[in-house]
A and B are shown apart, each in its own frame.
Chain A
Amino acid sequence: MSKLIYEKSAPGRRADNLPRLTPAEAAMKLRIPHKYFREQDAELPELSELDVVRHFTNLSRKNFSVDANMYPLGSCTMKYNPKICERIASLDGFSALHPLLPQLRGGGVLTQGALEVLYETERWLGEIVGMDAFTLQPMAGSHGELTGMMLVAAYHKDRGNRKTKVIIPDSAHGTNPSSAAIAGYTVVTIPTGADGGIDLARYEAALDDDVAAVMLTCPSTLGLFERDILKIAALAHKRDALLYYDGANLNALLGRCRPGDLGFDVVHVNLHKTFATPHGGGGPGAGPVGVKARLIPYLPTSIVVKRSDGTFALEYERPKSIGYIASFYGNFGIILRAYAYMLLLGREGMRRVSENAVLNANYIQARLKSRYDLAYDRLCMHECVFSASRQSAKGVHAIDVAKALVERGIHPPTVYFPLVVKEALMIEPTETESREQMDELIDAMLEIADLAEHDPAQFPAMPRNTPVGRLDEVKAARDMCFKA
């Protein structure tokens, strides 16, 4: 059984190798009263550097990762993370830059390269999604959603509109309603219609003058393009409701269709999905927000401007701004990687992304639909959603299909989301998977379908070849052991 790092500790062992104080420095008397000191040393482990290296090297080997396994998680866009982007992010001229430098007089001069990266990234993103301006401050997708909703609130407040509601489809990711609520809105949920799009009749009925915004993901979390989007947008705008785009599924539209052209007023983009920055085991990400011109005055402080002499500066004087969304300019290290990725792809590369992402998902859908129930029988976009209901009838649920895939070395698709599909299995291969790799997934799922028919009893024990088997989640919630 694997040991915690604390369990490998041996008193007196040290890895640290810090600079020594010179006699002059050591001779200084610290003017801190004794009672301001901590009473006991922090119980951090005592290890050699090799102990530390072995521990984390071995830990890493227990993970599935894009670099080692296919990871078709729907809605997550687990595409390949180009290594050149990692190399660029570690350049000293970027990584050693203190964020307060531009706030010093003469400091702007010291950060022109970084400011140019921010400025250019905003311009590229604006062109890609059809928006007039961007803020790169949001540090994650849901952070972008909150920022977007705060912009909506500022816009309406400035116009003297008293609107309290936001319309969200029931297929939306949970971050949508929770972000709207934090921005002070009440959420009105609209059901998904029979064809997989939003129920247009219910939408129209719910749209009144009290609606501040409509939050949509397009294609939806069902992987389906919202066919009535132009109508949906027109109806919203007639009521002075703003249309918000959750960019989680932008990979399906890259280079072919722009949310701005569909009528969206505010957009957030997930750099860690569409723009290939690494997922990091759960972050860091970045969720820049783009807006149409009428929302520019409300963008968070500060913004990057290009002066007439071609140099870059930060503008802080923004009377209508919603204020500070992040401490500085956003997750710069992530923005850097995304910018490099955009430069690598260029115009043609972007278009190839959506073409292949959509082709791949449809291929998987076509080959699996005879054995797994399709939630909606129409061509999908970059992800396809199945229901494991046929298998459930034999006692094999979506979670069992997932564990069976783990046993076969493939990371499972997203399960039990979106909530509108029972026993949901959401598969998003992305454009970076080869046909052979997809065939491996397809073959595995067909084999699993067979097994569900003939020998469902095998499933509860799976996965049998991982460091641990299925874990007792009830015990975890009840015991509440969160630290060593």
Chain B
Amino acid sequence: MIPKDAYYTKDHEWLKVNGDEATVGITDHAQEALGDITFVDLPKVGKVLKAHDSLLVVESVKAASDVYAPVAGTVSAINGALGSAPELINQSAQGDGWICKLKPFDASAVGSLMTADQYEAFLAEH
């Protein structure tokens, strides 16, 4: 069940818009592929990114994956809980396992991201 209230990227990131703030994380598909997550290298608040810049790295026992910024923005908050409980991403990738917030962010670029249906179709193909 892919949450309809978010947008998606080909690199399996999700983005949820809440007024002038966007929340970013990785999808359930991504966490499944990574396996048990052991460490999240959270970005610093204030970090400024262009679309597709490397936002952070998520590590599991057997892999390390870059998470890219779905749109341009500035990191306004990070999910500190991931420091001691990185497994939150495995348990609730689009809920408690959110990674960071962007504010401001490039709202105009959101349109070029995939909707939930488009992402579902994308997953079926690959």
Closest to A479 in B: B38
Q: Which of A394-449 contact B (CB under 8 A)?
A: 416
| Residues of chain B with a CB closer than 8 A to A474's CB | 36, 38, 61
A39 interface hit (Cβ, 8 Å): no
A473 — which chain B residues lie within 8 A by C-beta? 61
CA of A477 to CA of B62 in the docked complex: distance in angstroms?
Answer: 10
Interface size on B, residues (CB 8 A): 7
B39 contacts the other chain (Cβ, under 8 Å)? Answer: yes
The prevalent SS among residues of B at the interface is loop
Does A478 count as interface, using CB distance less than 8 angstroms? yes
Question: In the complex, what residues of A have CB within 8 A of residue B86's CB?
Answer: 478
Chain B residue with the shortest CB-CB distance to A399: B62
CB distance from A481 to the nearest CB of B (A): 13
Please indicate the chain A residues that have their CB under 8 angstroms from the CB of B59 in the complex: 477
Residues of B within 8 A of A416 (CB): 62
Whole-angstrom distance between the alpha carbons of A17 and B61 in the complex?
A: 44
Taking CB atoms and an 8 Å cut-off, the chain B residues in 34-75 that contact chain A are 36, 38-39, 59, 61-62
Map CB proximity to B onto A447-484 as digits: 1 under 8 Å, 0 otherwise.
00000000000000000000000000110011000000
Least Cβ–Cβ distance between A397 and chain B, in angstroms: 12
A470 to chain B: closest CB distance in Å? 12
CA distance A416 to B62 in the complex (A): 10
- Closest A residue to B36 using CB positions: A474
CB distance from B38 to the nearest CB of A (A): 4
Q: CA of A430 to CA of B62 in the docked complex: distance in angstroms? A: 28
Contacts of B62 in A (CB 8 A): 416
CB of B26 to closest CB in A, whole Å: 18
* Distance in angstroms between the alpha carbons of A478 and B39 in the assembled complex: 7
Residue numbers in A under 8 Å from B61 (CB-CB): 473-474, 477
Q: Which A residues are within 8 Å of any B CB, using their own CB?
A: 416, 473-474, 477-478
9 extra interface residue pairs, beta carbon distance < 8 Å, beyond A416-B62, A478-B39, A478-B86: A473-B61, A474-B36, A474-B38, A474-B61, A477-B38, A477-B39, A477-B59, A477-B61, A478-B38
* Between-chain CB contacts (< 8 Å), 12 pairs: A416-B62, A473-B61, A474-B36, A474-B38, A474-B61, A477-B38, A477-B39, A477-B59, A477-B61, A478-B38, A478-B39, A478-B86
